[in-house]
Amino acid sequence: MVYDTKVISWNESLKQLQRRYTNQPVDRKQFEEVELMEFFRDNDYISLPTHISGLSTERFTSYSIFTTEDKDRKVGTLIIEYLEDDHHILRIEQLYFV
């Protein structure tokens, strides 16, 4: 039951991330190392960087997501898609959760 509640909570958390960051300019290092890690910690999630075969590491970053209550149970994978515009400004194109 805790797992189901945490998955529902994660879905709401992902919506918050999407609303806050989609199409926003970011400093990738600052976003991934500070803002995203604080978000995970504040919402009781543990993230581990992962690589998904076939996705460009320049355009995509991904994390395996676990709960702090059950560190062995994976909630899912967060995929962040970046896009650099014509003015060389890096933006978050989309956040996916699978």
Select the highest-mean-pLDDT range: 7-11, 14-18, 60-64, 93-97.
60-64
pLDDT value of position 3:
54
CA-CA distance, 78 to 85, in Å (whole number)? 23
**Ranges 2-6, 29-33, 91-95: which has the least confidence:** 2-6
Checking if the pLDDT of 62 tops 50, the result is yes
pLDDT value of position 1:
44
Residue pLDDT, tens place only, 19-38: 999 999 999 999 999 999 99
Residue type, 60: F
Checking if the pLDDT of 6 tops 70, the result is no
Average pLDDT over residues 14-20: 87
